[in-house]
Amino acid sequence: MPLKRKDILSIDALSCEEIDLILQTAESFKEVSTRDIKKVPALRGKTIINLFFEPSTRTRTSFELAGKRLSADVINISAASSSAVKNETILDTARNIEAMHSDFIVVRHSASGVPQLLAGVLRSAVINAGDGAHQHPSQGLLDLMTIKEKKGEIKGLKVVIVGDILHSRVARSDIQGLVKYGAEVCVVGPPTLIPSGIERWGVKVSLHMDEALVGADIIIVLRLQLERQSRGFFPTLREYAMLYGLNQNRLNLADPEVLVMHPGPINRGIELSSEIADGLSSVILDQVTNGLAVRMALFFLLSEGSQH
Amino acid sequence: MSDKILIKGGRIIDPSHKRDEVADLLIEAGVISGISPSIAQPEGTFRTIDARGLLVVPGLIDLHTHLRVPGFEYKETIASATAAAASGGFTTVCCMPNTNPVNDNQAVTELILERAAAEGLVHVLPVGAITKGSQGKELAEMAELVSAGCVAVSDDGLPVMNSEIMRLAMTYATIFDIPVIDHCEDLNLTADGVIFEGKVSTDLGLRGIPSSSETVMVARDIELAELTGARVHLAHISTAGSVQLIREAKKRGISVTAETCPHYFTLTDEALRGYDSNAKMKPPLASSKDMEAILAGLADGTIEVIATDHAPHASEEKEQELDCAPFGIIGLETALPLSLKLVETGVLSLSDVIEKLTSGPAKVIGQKIGRLGIGDRADITLIDPDVEWTVKASDMKSLSKNSPFIGWTMKGRASTVIVSGKVLEGLYDGGKLR
């Protein structure tokens, strides 16, 4: 069964059936990466353009490897953070790329809504690799995959998401996916970094980490963008770490089988202590491995869909 | 070509004279010379306009237009903006000073008026800057601006943050009895926000502008209006909190007037769902609760003016990431039908709608326009209230097409516009206005 859609723009748009299909497909692709010859011919002759308007190593590499392991041709384009810098509009940039007959355009941009803008005018499949504070659907999918893999079932799990929810596309994608599957989600962070009306998404909001962590099955720690301090969202990194940093004492409040996740890259000693990042509860590297498999699945399923 | 025009059988609505009756209207030598139930054919050559089934109202006045001249002629010119104005039923537009250079001195005011005389189809009344370069630091030479033809002052778009400067500006403006028009926005609260802060900004991951960005400045301006006794006009009001503050200020007898724009009583932030940059403006489209409050404020007279905040931007500027696209939408060609809709929905009477587009704004700027009296300059708009039409970018006279209403079906339209006794031809036949 293929995915009957042209683009992957948000988790919200996907049904549970579609997510199940993506995760099952990803599971079967995991094996490919463990072979001696890590390549299958599924996307031979297809062209993938990674169009990254924001610096990224992990996500871009993951999409690049995913394409290459499926035998697609992959080109990486790192554009300036705003197309206006080059005085070319983003639509012109994208149309120029498509004129070279791309099949997939993977786009990351600091402005929310750019993948939608491109998907509306391009024939290529558009995969959102992170747009502003809006969505990061492949991250949401790989987090669901990691949780399912380790816990079996998502329904009923107590998930705590900690940090800068306001500016986080990962939080938005994770919340939508987790709520779809019936998890009990609580977001915790300083109120200056909690977006207005997030309760409407079916999550609880807590300002106190110790209270939120009691009995947690999953803790998703978000990366703190260090420049937020200069905007005054919190006084100092030290104080942030004091109130919302995950350390061993706090981890002890959670369920003994708790999983600690982080989308990376980690600010060690700020949002997450090293002992936890490297400890037994951490599944951070499993997330990275699953990310590759999820992105292979997305390329594969969208490509199948386009042939039907 | 005759200088006599007889408008026969229209429903004349003139709120300033509390007139609402079917009657004839005669124009001679550019001024209104007669209004009565039946006017006999005048001597000599004359033109008759059959106005049966039409509304005959004072030419509409827009208190808040960005002509973009000088400096941004790629967005709009005086020729294109005034064609858009005429097409929308406006015979007078007040142009905001955030041009390049800023209209903060006599030379720029004169340039605008000279260009308007040369290529404008409707009357242009400039608004001068409050401070030099609209930098919010030193007062612009207000006497010079007024003598050159400015009817108000405003640092629209670059609001005066320093409250002491604003106090001084208001106090000084009392010499000339001109209104100080404020774009109420606390730029620090707006920060890098792009849309209204609320559920839509959270869902879309866009930085929010809190409603308090407007209301704290409305509150400040009301306090300063009371302190200085100046005439203060609050531009493009968009939030429930502001309406409440203005309503209370008026009860206290403070000389404050207010305008809103059709988009604030027609749309909410839900219009941003598709990341449509043609729904991005300042103040931002707010919640449905705010829209309800704006409607209530119009209905009870708290808001006495409907203005367009016509803000043209080129398509290459708007077709960008929503974060980068400039704030502002055009409005001259859609304001009338969107306002008439308020009659259909029972918010306002027809006469009230016309008042907020004619004598309401005329009163704010203290000009003897927006009325149909014997001897008044013949600025008259004939409206077909029943015609249905679709807003098409290709039909718009404005050089820019940044409207969220493109594709909408509208009811009601200006069918004939008369400026100083001259009938503009080709209003909406897709051709060029003459």
Hey, what domains does chain B have and what are their CATH numbers?
4-56+376-424 (2.30.40.10), 59-365 (3.20.20.140)
Query: Considering only CB atoms, which chain B residues are within 8 Å of A132?
Result: 205-206, 323
Spell out the residues 6+ positions from residue A114 whose beta carbon is closer than 8 angstroms to its own.
A53, A90, A107, A131, A132, B321
Rounded Cα distance between A206 and A250, Å, is: 15
Of B212, B164, B165, nearest to B188 by C-alpha is B212
> What are the start-end ranges of the E strands in chain A?
47-52, 73-78, 104-109, 125-131, 158-162, 184-188, 204-206, 218-221, 259-261
Please answer yes or no on whether A197 and B202 come within 8 Å at the CB atom: yes
Using a CB-CB cut-off of 8 Å, the residues of chain B touching A200 are: 199, 202
Contact A196 B199 (CB under 8 A): yes
pLDDT over 60 (residue B434): no
Cβ–Cβ gap A196/B275 under 8 Å: no
Question: What pLDDT does A228 receive?
Answer: 77
My answer on whether omega of the bond before B101 falls inside 30° of 0, hence cis, is yes
Cβ B181 vs Cβ B162: under 8 Å? no
pLDDT score of A274 more than 80: yes
Nearest-5° Cα angle at A275, A274 to A279: 115
Nearest to A172 among B199, B205, B274 (CB): B205
Instruction: Please return the burial class of A300, using the count of CB atoms within 10 Å of its CB with bins 0-12, 13-18 and 19+.
Output: buried
Would you give the distance in Å from CA B278 to the centre of its chain? 18
Residue B138: pLDDT band with limits 50, 70, 90: very high
pLDDT exceeds cutoff 70 at B60: yes
Cis before A41? omega within 30: no
Interfacial A residues in 249-308 facing B (CB < 8 Å)? none
Q: Cα B258 from chain centroid?
A: 12
Lowest-pLDDT range of A80-94, B95-109, B150-164, B230-244 = A80-94
> Is the pLDDT assigned to residue A2 strictly greater than 90?
no
Contacts of A193 in chain B (CB under 8 A): none
Q: CB contact, 8 Å: A169 with chain B?
A: yes
Give B277-294 as a DSSP string: GGG--SSPP--HHHHHHH
pLDDT exceeds cutoff 80 at A198: yes
Q: Calculate ∠ Cα B430-B432-B434, nearest 5°.
A: 130
Known catalytic membership, residue B269: no
DSSP state of B15: G
For residue range B386-422, list pLDDT tens digits in order.
Answer: 999 999 999 999 999 999 999 999 999 999 999 999 9
Question: What percentage of chain B has pLDDT greater than the value 70?
Answer: 97
CA distances from B167 to A151, B34, B160, B228 (A): 64, 46, 10, 7
Radius of gyration from C-alpha coordinates of chain B: 21
Q: Which of B62, B104, B309, B376 is catalytic?
A: B309
Residue B431 has pLDDT above 80, yes or no: no
CA distances (Å), A227 to each of A235, B173, B312, in order?
Answer: 12, 43, 35
- Mean pLDDT of the region B179-195: 97
In this prediction, residue A82 has a pLDDT band, given cuts at 50, 70 and 90, of very low
Q: How many CA atoms lie within 13 A of B74 on its CB side?
A: 5
Percent of chain A residues topping a pLDDT of 90: 86
**pLDDT at residue B142 greater than cutoff 90:** yes
When the pLDDT of each residue in chain A is averaged and rounded to a whole number, the result is 94
Is A84 within 8 Å of chain B by CB? Answer: yes
Q: What percent of chain A has pLDDT over 70?
A: 97
- In whole angstroms, what is the distance from residue B249 CA to residue A98 CA? 58
Backbone angles phi, psi at A219, to 5 degrees: -120, 115
Whole-number CA gyration radius for chain A: 19
Give the up-direction half-sphere exposure of residue B66: CA atoms within 13 A in the CB hemisphere: 26
- Which residues of chain A make contact with B284, given a CB cutoff of 8 A? none
Q: Does A40 touch chain B (CB under 8 A)?
A: no
Query: What is the C-alpha separation between B337 and B153, in angstroms, rounded?
Result: 29
Q: In sequence order, what are the beta bridge partners of B32? A: B27
**Does residue A225 sit at the B interface (CB-CB below 8 Å)?**
no
Shortest CB distance from A134 goes to which of B191, B197, B204? B204
Selecting from A90, A169, A197 the residue whose C-beta is nearest the C-beta of B205 gives A169
Closest residue, chain A, to B188 (C-alpha): A231
User: For B186, left (φ over 0), alpha (ψ -120 to 50), or beta?
Assistant: beta
Which pLDDT value is given to residue B429?
58
Long-range contact set of residues B426-431: C-beta below 8 Å, sequence gap at least 24: B427/B86, B427/B87, B428/B87, B428/B389, B428/B395, B430/B394, B430/B395
d(CA A258, CA A275): 15
Helix (H, G, I), strand (E, B) or coil at B22: strand
CB B131 within 8 A of CB B155: yes
Under DSSP, the state recorded for B208 is E
| Count of CA atoms in the C-beta half-sphere (13 A) of B63 | 35
Helix (H) or strand (E) holding A212: helix A209-213
pLDDT tens column, B353-379: 999 999 999 999 999 999 999 999 999
Distance CA(B169)–CA(B186), nearest Å, equals 18
CA pair distance B132, B112, nearest whole angstrom: 17
pLDDT of A64: 98
Residue B122 pLDDT: 98
Instruction: Say whether A112 and B206 touch across the interface (CB within 8 A).
Output: yes
Per the structure block, which two tokens stand in for A251? 């981890």
Residue in B153, B224, B223, B211 with CA at minimum distance from that of residue B182: B153
B31 close to B8: Cβ distance less than 8 angstroms: no
**How far away is chain A from the Cα of B337, in angstroms, using its nearest Cα?**
30
Q: Classify each residue of A196-209 as buried b or exposed e, where b means 16 or more C-beta atoms within 10 Å of its C-beta.
A: bebeebebeebeeb
Residue B432's pLDDT band, with cuts at 50, 70 and 90, is low
HEC assignment per residue over B127-173: EECCEHHHCCCCECCHHHHHHHCCCEEECCCCCCCCHHHHHHHHHHH
